[in-house]
Amino acid sequence: MTDQHLHPDTMAVHSGRADLAELGVHALPIDLSTTNPLPDIERGGDSYEAMATGGRPPADGSMVYARLWNPTVARFEDALAEMEHADASVAFSSGMAAMTAVILAHTSAARKSHVVAVRPLYGGTDHLLGSGLLATETTYCHPSEVRSMMRADTGLVVVETPANPTLELVDIAEIVAAAGDVPVVVDNTFATPLLQNPLDHGAAMSLHSATKYLGGHGDVIAGVVACSERIAEALRRVRAVTGGLLHPLGAYLLHRGLTTLPVRIRQQQQNAQQIVQWLIDQPEVDEVFYPGLDGDPRGILERQMRGTGAMIAMRMSGGYAAAKAVASSVALFTHAVSLGGVDSLIQHPAALTHRPVPADARPDADVLRLSIGLENAGDLIADLAQAFAASTVMRPHRPANAAAVSSR
Taken in order of first residue, the domains within the chain and their CATH numbers are 3-110+172-258 (3.40.640.10), 262-406 (3.90.1150.10)
**Contact 138/115 with Cβ under 8 angstroms?**
yes
User: Cβ(199)–Cβ(86) under 8 Å?
Assistant: yes
Please state the φ and ψ torsions of residue 234, each to the nearest 5 degrees.
-65, -40
Asked whether the whole model's pTM tops 0.85, one would answer yes
Question: Residue 406: beta bridge partners?
Answer: 289
Report d(CA 33, CA 172) in Å as an integer: 40
Task: Report residues of the chain scoring pLDDT below 50.
Answer: 1, 393-402, 407-408
Contacts of 55 (CB under 8 A, 6+ apart): 233, 236
Instruction: List the end-to-end C-alpha distance of the chain, in Å, as a whole number.
Output: 40
pLDDT at residue 2, rounded to an integer = 53
Q: Report pLDDT for 110.
A: 85
Please count the CA atoms within 13 angstroms of the CA of 403 that sit on its side-chain side: 25
* 378-402 exposure pattern, b = at least 16 Cβ within 10 A, e = fewer: eebbebbeebbeebebbeeeeeeee
So what's the pLDDT on residue 400?
46
Contact 384, 275 (CB under 8 A): yes
List the catalytic residues. Answer: 67, 122, 187, 212
What pLDDT score was predicted for residue 397? 44
Contacts of 201 (CB under 8 A, 6+ apart): 172, 173, 176, 304
Q: How far is CA 108 from CA 17, 103, 105, 111, 310, in A?
A: 35, 8, 6, 5, 36
Q: Are 201 and 69 in contact (CB under 8 A)?
A: no
Q: Which residues contact 274 (CB under 8 A, 6 or more apart)?
A: 377, 381
In our burial notation (b when 16+ CB lie closer than 10 A, e otherwise), range 111-145 reads ebbbbbbbbbbbbbbbbbbbeeebebebbbbebee
Per-residue pLDDT reduced to its tens digit, 40-62: 999 999 999 999 999 999 999 99
